[in-house]
């Protein structure tokens, strides 16, 4: 894909700083937005630890900041996993759902919703725990399928993709069956599946921040190996990279990231598929800067979508998972058309 002329002049570092500034401005705007009116000055004072009114302090630190941080982490992590999936599977259509992990998490969460368990453990609701267990089970199944098929000489790329698709299809059918059997809870399950940040808490925000601060640098460390893997698995071996163990590492890190994002805010589609492409459009193609930039752009995109989701029909909220596609798809089509593919 050809990159835009206006961005091709700038180097990667400049683009990252620019994106960070956009994210900061959006964070400020999102903190100001909402039913209770809080000014920019109050937000800045609150962040800098200066004195603000008690009401503003409570709203900012208990409601708005946790929600902003959660949407940034979820958006960033989903975009990073999308970039990883597209890189390791050498497939532009890959996204976090190809591993079947989000489907597994969705199934686990749906079961808890219809069983009506409402306990909260370390800031994570029972639904979140259900999602984590669902994701873990799916991950185990995929790793065992890879282990068995690789002994038969089938490439781990195709077996992972195929088993992921099969599991995604299986879990979505199971969710449909669960919804059909529990019609009274159908709406709850459905709305959960579409994703929302309305239940963000301080604990969740802190947990997801720590998770992002651990996972993103970890992914950036192994990122250059994915560039090498694109040259073929035998070539990767001549650089001392074991493709199978790299695949296991990437799948495990991605599963952890997806499991916690789905557990905290449901299934938010489109981000993981589209953000890595948008980053490529901006001329960032090597894996390591792409991971960093995907996190920032994913964060911007989901924060923007969530702000739209909660303000457009205030006081009621739209599911953010629907908004991401509503905003993202037209923008993506415009980029596709303007970015003319082919020979320069």
Partner 1 sequence: MDIKIENLTVCYGKHEVLKDLNFLFEKNHIYAILGPNGCGKTTLVDRIAKDFSKTSDISYIAQETLGELELKAYDVVSLGRYNPKDFYHSLTREDKEKIEKAMSDMDISHVQDRNFDTLSGGEKQRIQIARALAKDYEWLLCDEPTSSLDVKHQVLFARTVKRINEEGKSVIVVLHDINLASSIADRILLMKDGRIYKAGIPSEVLTEENLRACFNTDFVRIQNEDRNIINFIYNV
**Which positions touch partner 1 (CB under 8 A)?**
1-2, 90, 92, 153, 221, 224-225, 227-228, 230-232, 234-235, 237-241, 280, 285-286, 288, 342-344
For the bound state, the minimum distance from the C-beta of residue 185 to partner 1, rounded and expressed in Å, comes to 44
| Token digits of residue 201 | 């808490």
Closest by CA position to 166, among listed 184, 141, 131: 141
Residue number, 141 or 162, with CB nearest to partner 1: 162
Alpha-carbon torsion (32, 209, 302, 278), positive or negative: positive
Q: Count of CB atoms within 10 A of residue 343's CB?
A: 5
For the bound state, the minimum distance from the C-beta of residue 152 to partner 1, rounded and expressed in Å, comes to 9
Q: Where are the alpha helices (DSSP H) in 33-100?
A: 40-47, 54-58, 65-88
Residue number, 63 or 222, with CB nearest to partner 1: 222
For the bound state, the minimum distance from the C-beta of residue 228 to partner 1, rounded and expressed in Å, comes to 6
Residue number, 240 or 315, with CB nearest to partner 1: 240
> How many Å apart are CA 106 and CA 176, to the nearest integer?
11
Q: Which residues pair with 121 in a beta bridge?
A: 124
First to last CA, the chain: 10
Residue number, 168 or 225, with CB nearest to partner 1: 225
For the bound state, the minimum distance from the C-beta of residue 93 to partner 1, rounded and expressed in Å, comes to 12
| Token digits of residue 322 | 């629907």
For the bound state, the minimum distance from the C-beta of residue 158 to partner 1, rounded and expressed in Å, comes to 13
Residue number, 140 or 336, with CB nearest to partner 1: 336
Residue number, 173 or 235, with CB nearest to partner 1: 235
Q: Compute CA distances 138 → 164, 260, 292, whole Å.
A: 9, 14, 27
Element (H, E) at 286: none
For the bound state, the minimum distance from the C-beta of residue 161 to partner 1, rounded and expressed in Å, comes to 14
Confirm if 343 and 5 have CB atoms less than 8 A apart. Answer: no
For the bound state, the minimum distance from the C-beta of residue 292 to partner 1, rounded and expressed in Å, comes to 14
Residue number, 98 or 124, with CB nearest to partner 1: 98
| Token digits of residue 296 | 């920032």
Q: Which residues pair with 125 in a beta bridge?
A: 120
Closest by CA position to 275, among listed 219, 342, 324: 324
């Amino acid at each position: 894909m050809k990159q835009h002329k206006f961005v091709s002049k700038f180097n990667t570092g400049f683009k990252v700083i620019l994106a960070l500034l956009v994210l900061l401005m959006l964070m400020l705007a999102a903190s100001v937005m909402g039913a209770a009116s809080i000014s920019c000055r109050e937000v800045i004072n609150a962040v800098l630890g200066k004195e603000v009114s008690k009401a503003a302090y409570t709203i900012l630190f208990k409601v708005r900041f946790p929600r902003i941080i959660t949407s940034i982490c979820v958006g960033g992590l989903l975009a990073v996993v999308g970039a990883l999936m597209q890189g390791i599977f050498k497939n532009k259509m890959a996204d976090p759902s190809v591993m079947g992990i989000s489907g597994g998490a969705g199934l686990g969460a749906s079961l808890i919703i219809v069983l009506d368990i409402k306990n909260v453990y370390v800031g994570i609701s029972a639904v979140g725990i259900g999602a984590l267990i669902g994701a873990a089970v799916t991950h185990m199944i995929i790793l065992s399928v890879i282990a068995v098929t690789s002994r038969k000489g089938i490439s781990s790329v195709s077996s992972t993709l195929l088993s992921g698709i099969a599991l995604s299809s299986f879990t979505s059918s199971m969710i449909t069956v669960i919804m059909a059997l529990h019609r009274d809870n159908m709406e709850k399950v459905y709305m959960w599946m579409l994703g929302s940040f309305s239940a963000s808490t301080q604990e969740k925000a802190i947990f997801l921040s720590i998770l992002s601060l651990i996972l993103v640098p970890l992914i950036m460390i192994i990122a250059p190996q994915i560039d090498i893997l694109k040259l073929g698995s035998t070539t990767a071996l001549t650089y001392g990279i074991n493709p199978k163990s790299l695949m296991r590492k990437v799948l495990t890190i991605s599963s952890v990231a997806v499991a916690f994002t789905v557990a905290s805010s449901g299934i938010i589609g489109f981000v993981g598929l589209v953000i890595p492409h948008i980053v490529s459009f901006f001329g960032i193609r090597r894996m390591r800067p792409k991971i960093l930039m995907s996190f920032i752009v994913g964060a911007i995109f989901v924060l923007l979508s969530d702000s739209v989701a909660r303000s457009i029909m205030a006081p009621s909220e739209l599911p953010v998972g629907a908004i991401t596609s509503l905003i993202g798809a037209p923008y993506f089509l415009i980029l596709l058309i303007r970015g003319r593919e082919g020979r320069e």
